[in-house]
A and B are shown apart, each in its own frame.
Chain A
Amino acid sequence: MSNIRTTGKKSSNTLVRDLVNVGIFAALYIVLAFISSSIGYIPALIVFSIGSIALVTSIPLFLFFSKVERSILCCLIFCGFFGAAMFVMGQGILMLTISLLVGLLAGVILKVFGKSFAGLFSANIVMSLMSSSMMLPLWTSTEEYLKYTSTMCDAGYVAKLAELSQSPWPLVAIYAFGILGAIVGGLVARRVMKKHFERIGLAK
């Protein structure tokens, strides 16, 4: 009788499985991110829109993190795609760089902490930094635009827009809400994982 061997070891085939997962979850993430952030078209709600992205995407991210074998590579590519999408939409290299750093950090966290709750939770919070940065260029470019428009139009309007972007506080608020959204989302996601995905056998 032949020897007993394990099958399905880490190989280029399981890499395909990982990469396909990256593609799928990246697609879902981007769709969810855009839907959630559309609240932000009402300027007053911009700050909340980012927090909602972090909240809503927590559940898929938890599932994604628990499914991929090669955490660092997958997170890097995943965030890279998001950053690249932002780049193509005109948001500049800064966004892409931030995304890649976030991806690297998230991947490392997953590698170090494994698929434990601590690992998933922290990685999720790190991811919120990426979605929070989505608003960054609209900020910096608005400042440049303000410089230009102040030469052309009335100071009163400029002052009003200044409420939106001159001071750094709204930006800090955005990141804070992002992290808050990720924390709340992480707790919800953990419950959903326990309640559903672990019992179905989709996650371990």
Chain B
Amino acid sequence: MNITLKNVSFSYTDSLDDAVIKDLNLEIRSGQCVILAGESGCGKTTISKLINGLIPHYHSGTISGDILLGEKNTADITLAEISRYVGSVFQNPRSQFFNIDTDSEIAFGCENLAMPREEILQRVDRIVDEFHLQKLMGRNIFHLSGGEKQKIACASVAATMPEIFVLDEPSANLDLKTIAELKEIIARWKKAGKTVVVVEHRIHYLREIADRICYVKDGRIAYEWTPAELEAKGAEYAASLGLRCVNLKKIGDARLRGHDKKSVIASGAKQSLHESIVFTDLQFAYNRKFPILNIPSFTLPRNQITALIGHNGAGKSTLAQVLCKKSDAYLIMQDVNHQLFTESVLEEVLLGMRPQNEKTALEILAGLNLEQYAYEHPMALSGGQKQRVAIGSGVSSGRDIVIFDEPTSGLDYRQMLAVSATLQKLATSGKTLLVITHDPEFILNCCSNIIHLEHGKIAEQYPLQGHQEKLIETMLDE
């Protein structure tokens, strides 16, 4: 089934004057795998919504132009009808599942399409086989990891056997190992002749599968390449467009060119100061038989950025929480919405400050490039800005140790660099930073130490300098 977008313009408001998509023409032939790449806000997610029918059937706005799936115009059929042909997977595993247990969730789409019971059971069995999900059956979805949830989401969508799959940043919250499993799933779909459209910042896991990459800029397709062509243009070209690295194996030398490399070496030099904070007896368990965290001794180098890596469930978040309790560290959470409370950015920074000093608060904001937003509502800002607000409140709390939980998931290259710069600034201003992350590019960019956590214990700890390859290998192996 071919996807055709003809002269499509769309705006989320009442008029096409502030259109997000401008006069777009796109043709995706049946069986192709296409990546829609681009910086945040370029309109690639909106294009995906044009394909899966959310526009025009769900989101309010103004549209002109036609969208055709095969011969049918999406405007003429219902969304339920479209869902027979197009399956959608989104980026946040925790808000995609409608049911509580895995079996019901996989059957959900089929049930909605009123397939007969026997057929649904057959399809579920087949999907479970294909996706190797036997271990996940009969379980409570709330107890699954992010990667497992995402696999169930893919299975649920695949069960209705659509012709087209649309995925919106499906790898955003996943670790490298799970991303590899996601890649297998997409490869299988491609092999079965399905059309796959993936909206992504991270192209590396699809470089062997994608047929072409469409670079979206200002609501138009600015460039198009095959993955090989893009890779041939070099890492700097991709970086200048805001794209994450295309080939993970070449990441070591590629991304450390230019100013990036300098800053890593600089922070590496500081290491010779040999000052560190030692924590002892970090433990946590829900019941004594199965301790989640069991670390007799934990050393954190001062004034440096340490990366905490480990597969999902190794206990990283638990370690962060235990550290917060034991040593008065400040945690910047993965979901920043949980820690924004007030009506203005300035208030937010003042909230944790004792004593409250507006001048100091404004200085903190200036240091984070947020002064112009001082009187804006924190929740109205973009994701990256919100994160900086949370960092601001962390700085104003005066705590020495700041922990970050997945600060770069879902960010494009430029945003990731901005976070990296902010963190480095914090480190030089005297804070000790611990970053929980799955993002190897980010680690190579600003971290100077690695701690590898496994099953609640520290498996390894080493400085990044000289160990870059070991890092990549460990992360790919997770």
Q: A189 → chain B, closest Cβ, in Å?
A: 15
Q: Once the chains bind, are A4 and B55 in contact (CB under 8 Å)?
A: no
Q: B382 → chain A, closest Cβ, in Å?
A: 12
Give the contacts of A1-38 with B (CB-CB under 8 A).
Answer: 1-9, 11-14, 17
Query: Which residues of the partner chain B approach A200 to less than 8 Å between Cβ atoms?
Result: 377, 379-380
Give the contacts of B27-75 with A (CB-CB under 8 A).
Answer: 55-66, 75
Is B343 in the interface zone, CB < 8 Å from A?
yes
Query: Which residues of the partner chain A approach B62 to less than 8 Å between Cβ atoms?
Result: 4-7
Q: Bound complex: CA of A87 vs CA of B379, how far in Å? A: 39
Considering residues A7, A11, A201, which has the most beta carbons from chain B within 10 angstroms of its beta carbon? A7
**Interface size bracket, A side:** 10 to 19
Is B79 in the interface zone, CB < 8 Å from A?
yes
Residue of B nearest to A8 (CB): B60
Contact of A4 among B58, B63, B79 (CB under 8 A): B63
**Interface residues of B, CB < 8 Å — how many?**
25
Q: Bound complex: CA of A200 vs CA of B378, how far in Å? A: 8
Q: Once the chains bind, are A7 and B57 in contact (CB under 8 Å)?
A: yes
Query: Which residues of the partner chain B approach A13 to less than 8 Å between Cβ atoms?
Result: 57-58, 79
Q: Bound complex: CA of A196 vs CA of B60, how far in Å? A: 23
Query: Which residues of the partner chain A approach B55 to less than 8 Å between Cβ atoms?
Result: 7-8
Is B421 in the interface zone, CB < 8 Å from A?
no
Residue of B nearest to A10 (CB): B60
Query: Which residues of the partner chain B approach A2 to less than 8 Å between Cβ atoms?
Result: 6-7, 64-66
Q: Bound complex: CA of A3 vs CA of B65, how far in Å? A: 7
Is B16 in the interface zone, CB < 8 Å from A?
yes
Contact of A11 among B10, B57, B63, B377 (CB under 8 A): B57
Is A199 in the interface zone, CB < 8 Å from B?
yes
**Could you pull out 19 A-B pairs where Cβ atoms are within 8 angstroms?**
A2-B7, A2-B64, A5-B63, A6-B62, A6-B63, A7-B10, A7-B57, A7-B60, A7-B63, A8-B56, A8-B58, A8-B59, A12-B78, A13-B79, A195-B343, A196-B343, A199-B343, A200-B379, A200-B380
Which A residues form the contact surface with B (CB < 8 A)? 1-9, 11-14, 17, 195-196, 199-201
Which B residues form the contact surface with A (CB < 8 A)? 6-7, 10, 14, 16, 55-66, 75, 78-80, 343, 377, 379-380
